[in-house]
């Protein structure tokens, strides 16, 4: 993909982010942070590519280290978000 196409996606996604995040209720700002943490670890994609590539041993081990770190974040981030969200309960009537 050429740079302009990618850049367009990026700018549009910034706008989507702006509107979606303002619609998040302030009561859920902490879960918002932990879930954004989890999804920003989509960087694991780059780590997996590096780990699977032949050609440089250093690059492969850096990739594997990044896979571990991103994976801690993904599993930890989604799990802690789920734990928090399960605590939010409505009034019993």
With residue 24 as reference, give the H or E element that holds it: none
10 Å CB burial of residue 93 (0-12, 13-18, 19+) is: exposed
Using CB under 8 A, count the residues that bind another protein. Answer: 84
- SS3 label, residue 29: helix
The least distance separating another protein from the CB of residue 61, rounded to whole angstroms, comes to: 9
Cα 20 from Cα 32, distance rounded (Å)? 11
Cα 18 from Cα 40, distance rounded (Å)? 16
Confirm or reject binding of residue 71 to another protein (CB under 8 A).
Answer: yes
Confirm or reject binding of residue 56 to another protein (CB under 8 A).
Answer: yes
The least distance separating another protein from the CB of residue 12, rounded to whole angstroms, comes to: 8
Confirm or reject binding of residue 4 to another protein (CB under 8 A).
Answer: no
The least distance separating another protein from the CB of residue 25, rounded to whole angstroms, comes to: 6
Name which of residues 17 to 46 contact another protein (CB under 8 A): 17-18, 20-46
């Amino acid at each position: 993909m050429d740079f302009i196409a990618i850049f367009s996606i990026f700018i549009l996604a910034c706008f989507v982010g702006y509107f979606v995040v303002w619609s998040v209720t302030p009561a859920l700002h902490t879960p918002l942070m932990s879930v954004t943490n989890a999804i920003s670890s989509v960087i694991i994609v780059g780590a997996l590519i590096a780990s699977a590539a032949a050609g440089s041993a250093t690059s492969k081990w850096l990739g594997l280290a990044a896979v571990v770190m991103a994976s801690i974040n993904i599993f930890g981030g989604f799990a802690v978000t789920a734990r928090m969200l399960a605590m939010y309960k409505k009034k019993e009537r």
